[in-house]
């Protein structure tokens, strides 16, 4: 019983650590890609979803930034201050 609880704690703790590492990597890659286009855009992540924010945040003016974020492998959805802006290829979205 104790061994099972210990095993579960190790597995769950390890998966949480791995998820944080993956999100950190995705944040770094997405921020780098977007800032190559426009360093003034704020990039936030929640899991695999990206929020882009800027003083000039409209879909038409931030289209290159949206496309840069969508092109990063692992990004599921991109929004601009709450407005849907783009999504990745359907085959890249995991169930």
Q: Where are the domains of the chain?
A: 2-92
Digit-coded pLDDT (tens) for 17-75 = 577 888 999 999 999 999 999 898 899 998 889 998 887 655 557 788 889 999 999 99
Kindly give, in sequence order, each residue whose CB lies less than 8 Å from that of residue 64, ignoring residues fewer than 6 positions away: 37, 38
Q: Is 2-92 in CATH node 3.30.300?
A: yes
Digit-coded pLDDT (tens) for 80-91 = 875 555 554 444
**Whole-model pTM over 0.85:** no
**Residue 47: enclosing H or E segment and its boundaries?**
none
* Burial of 63 (C-beta count, 10 Å sphere; 0-12/13-18/19+): middle
């Amino acid at each position: 019983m104790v061994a099972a609880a210990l095993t579960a704690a190790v597995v769950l703790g390890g998966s949480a650590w791995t998820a944080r590492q993956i999100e950190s990597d995705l944040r770094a890659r997405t921020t780098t890609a977007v800032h190559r286009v426009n360093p003034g855009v704020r990039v936030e992540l929640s899991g695999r979803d990206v929020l882009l924010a800027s003083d000039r945040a409209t879909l038409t003016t931030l289209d290159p930034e949206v496309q840069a974020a969508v092109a990063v492998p692992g990004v599921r959805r991109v929004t601009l201050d709450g407005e849907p802006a783009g999504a990745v290829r359907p085959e890249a979205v995991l169930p």
